[in-house]
Structure 1
Amino acid sequence: MTFSQLQRFFWICSGTPEHFIEKYPTEHSKYLGIGATIFFTALFAALSGGYALYFVFAGNPFAGLWGLLFGLMWGLAIFNLDRYIVSSINKTSKGLKQFYQASPRLVFAILIALVIARPLELKIFDKEIHDRLKQRYLNDQNEQIKKVQSAFNEKYALELSQIKKYQDEYDLLSADVNRLREELKEEVFGSRTSTTSGVPGYGSYAKNKELVVVAKQTRLEYLAGQLADLHATMNRQKTAEGINNQMMLSETLLDKKAATAGFADRNWALGALAHASDDVSSSSANAILFITLLFIVFECAPLIVKLLSDLGPSDVETKETEKRIIAQLTNTAYFSRNRAIREYRIMGSKIGGRRAKKYLSNKRGWGR
């Protein structure tokens, strides 16, 4: 495509008839810039829409194809909207009337810019979004495990309280048995303390202490058996209810889940990133704001250029041509030659023109 062809393409994109622009060299650059801005806005819209729909169909083998098709459709829709918005501004209006005409179009352009900007922001901050999603999924997994365990503890509160009771007694008794064994050893070896006689040998004091140790050891073994049975029962119940299957996601699984997250999750992560209070998130929030403002300016640029530019000869000719065509089409005279031409001739058709002349000659003949 040569420069002349590219220039004509951008003129078409601007929404003003090409032959009007071509007649006036002073208008070439203005409409080249307007048309190029409209075209590249539509291009960004196509990329944005395709990227957004790609994540909507994430996991589908045809996600790329659907994203491509939707991107093309979305880009064409935005192109036509922008082209209409810019071409509908009447430059022949005076003063604030142009601004009043353009104000609804400016609001609409801002809305389009916000829609276009969001998916592209998701792509720009992809790494930060990925980390934020991993953190969220990990927190969600923790909360889920806590909820399941809490429900299980409520359901088996009696059994768990019995385990705690036996465990507390077992711990105290175990410490007591160990203490009594040390005292028995000191009694046999003749070490004099506040709890021993100081007489070496296996005497009556040693026998009494040994009986106490044996009795406590028997109770200790009973408690150990009860605890083992209760723990085995609770483990069976946990397995039956899926408690033992609850586990934290590994780093690999977290990465995989974050990589295949849908558009809604990624949009949430970007919002959380923008509203967090840490320094990194504050910096990202400022960057998101500036990117959004950049797209708003980019989308409104054709309108602003059209509003700020002086009234050009192509604008005047376009307006005069519209007035002439409207006056011709709204002529209500029954014998008007223009009406006869409209009824019998398609614009530019020679055959229709001969029919119109024949019709007019017949009308004149009838009038004699």
Structure 2
Amino acid sequence: METSFYKNPRPSWLMRQFWKISGGDRYILERSTYSDQVKYTCMGGIVLATGAMAALAGGYAFYTIFAPKGDAIDDIKTIAASGHYDPTDIPTLILATIFGLFWGAIIFNIDRFIVTSTGKGDGTEAITRQELKSALPRLIMGTIIAFTISKPVEIRMFKSEIDAQLYQTQLEAQKQYEIKTRKNFEDRIKDLDKENSGIQNNIEHYMKVIAVKDSLWNLETSKGQGGRGQGEGPMARSYKAERDRVEGEMNRFISLNKSKIDDIQKRRTQMNGELEIALKKNKTVSAGLDGLLERIKISHELAPGISLFITLLFMAIELTPIFFKLMLIKGPYDYMEENIKDLVKAQNGIEIQHDYYKDKEGLERDLVIHHEVDRMTSMKVRVVQAQKELNEYIIDSWKTKQKEAIDNNLEAYVTTLTGETIPVVENDNGQEPVKEEGAQKDNRFTLS
């Protein structure tokens, strides 16, 4: 806008884009004051920044949820061994980037709708109760958006502290899982050992008897019998025979129970393998404590005050444009916008009579009169009425013409039931017509 007393700086391309984002009318803003241009530029910048933060937060949340879960214990060992650790999963990162852009676009459009649909209040700095009541749905939506944006950003800000706490959580969880798993397998192994105890006790008994016989045989062969020299005498041979007999019984017992012993050993080996698998599975389960919910929980435990402050900060950023518009003092832009709206309504035949009546709840309502609609409706009603009158006139005229045709040529319309034409003779005195001779007396007349 350029006049003899005022000239606006030429708006840049970036400023016009911010106007579009905030829902400002470029035509009016270019003819308004510079302060109005700055207001809508700042408003558009806030909306754009909210959408960008939503994109980052959504992408990070997606990556945290769907990325392969890392074991914090192994991660720390890897860092200690190599001095470098890069846990980034490229496929998940690509998907998270796509989702982040999509999520940011959704929040951007919702936020833009909230800002553009919020009215300007009563045009004063004060925010009345009625204005807050009207803006309440938009405030609720803005609060929800602020929460969804703040939490992923919050856990990213505290990532180092959360990872350290997460390491302790995973370590404790892994220990608890290991204790429970080993206790479960110990009970099962005890049942298996109890089943095997009878066989093992018998074998151990045989082995003890064999050991005693071997000891006695060694003693007898070392000192000899009856003061003789060393050698195997009758008593030593009896010990050996008894030892061989017991060993034979043991071998027969083992042979008879071999299949059962092998089955127990096989089950024991299989159980040990299951124990190793379960311990590895416990490690995987404890590593799974790396999701978005667990990180948010840890962040609240570490710094509840800071977490609340960050949430309030994002709420302030998100709700600022709404409160800004409620506190906005009307300027030249607002009056020109109202003027253009009124001109558009007048051009299209729309009249609004404000506070015209009260509804059942006692609220004042506006009366909206659509003159163009009334005109077209009135014209359509008259056309339909004229068509109706013309149709009636056509039918009446056709009826009169048909009567004249019947009067002029009545015999063409009168026949007997047998299809014979009966000539009609008119009397001068207006009496009924007389039938010609040869016509049947009981014939009835019908109209063709």
Same structural fold, with TM-score higher than 0.5 when normalized by the shorter chain: yes
| Residue aligned with 1:62, SS | helix
Task: State the match for 1:88 in structure 2.
Answer: 117
Task: State the match for 1:240 in structure 2.
Answer: 270
CA distance in 1, matches of 2:371, 2:11: 47
Cα offset, 1:101, TM superposition: 2.1
Query: For the Cα contact (< 8 Å) 1:92–1:311, is it kept in 2?
Result: no
Task: State the match for 1:316 in structure 2.
Answer: 335
User: Residues 1-368 of structure 1 correspond to what in structure 2 (within 5 A)?
Assistant: 4-25=12-33, 26-59=35-68, 61-91=90-120, 93=122, 95-157=128-190, 239-241=269-271, 242=273, 245=276, 265-275=291-301, 281=302, 284-326=303-345, 328=348, 331-333=370-372
Determine what percentage of the aligned residue pairs are the same residue. Answer: 28
Deviations 1:149-196 (A, max 9, x none): 2222322435668999x9xxxxxxxxxxxxxxxxxxxxxxxxxxxxxx
CA distance in 1, matches of 2:48, 2:172: 44
Structure exhibiting the larger radius of gyration computed from Cα positions: 2
Deviations 1:64-89 (A, max 9, x none): 22222221121121121111111112
Cα offset, 1:40, TM superposition: 0.8
Change (3 A) 1:156 1:245: closer
Change (3 A) 1:334 1:160: closer
CA distance in 2, matches of 1:158, 1:65: 52
Greater relative contact order (CA < 8 Å, ≥ 6 in sequence): 1
Cα offset, 1:45, TM superposition: 0.8
Query: For the Cα contact (< 8 Å) 1:153–1:160, is it kept in 2?
Result: no
Query: For the Cα contact (< 8 Å) 1:38–1:79, is it kept in 2?
Result: yes
Cα offset, 1:117, TM superposition: 0.7
- TM-score, structure 2 as length reference: 0.50
CA distance in 1, matches of 2:90, 2:321: 39
Deviations 1:315-357 (A, max 9, x none): 23333433443452653546969xx9xxxxxxxxxxxxxxxxx
CA distance in 1, matches of 2:45, 2:100: 19
- Structure 1, gaps ≥5 residues long: 167-231, 276-280, 341-368
CA distance in 1, matches of 2:265, 2:343: 91
Query: For the Cα contact (< 8 Å) 1:92–1:316, is it kept in 2?
Result: no
CA distance in 1, matches of 2:344, 2:19: 23
Query: For the Cα contact (< 8 Å) 1:92–1:315, is it kept in 2?
Result: no
Query: For the Cα contact (< 8 Å) 1:122–1:267, is it kept in 2?
Result: no
CA distance in 1, matches of 2:54, 2:63: 14
Query: For the Cα contact (< 8 Å) 2:58–2:99, is it kept in 1?
Result: yes
The alignment's C-alpha RMSD in Å is: 4.0
Query: For the Cα contact (< 8 Å) 1:46–1:74, is it kept in 2?
Result: yes
Change (3 A) 1:96 1:321: farther
Aligned residues: 264
| Residue aligned with 2:12, SS | helix
Change (3 A) 1:329 1:152: farther
- TM-score, structure 1 as length reference: 0.60
| Residue aligned with 1:23, SS | coil
Change (3 A) 1:39 1:329: farther
One-letter identity of the residue aligned with 1:265? G
Higher strand share: 2
Change (3 A) 1:273 1:35: closer
- Structure 2, gaps ≥5 residues long: 1-9, 69-88, 201-261, 351-369, 380-448
Task: State the match for 1:173 in structure 2.
Answer: none
Deviations 1:128-166 (A, max 9, x none): 2222332232223222222222222322435668999x9
CA distance in 2, matches of 1:129, 1:266: 11
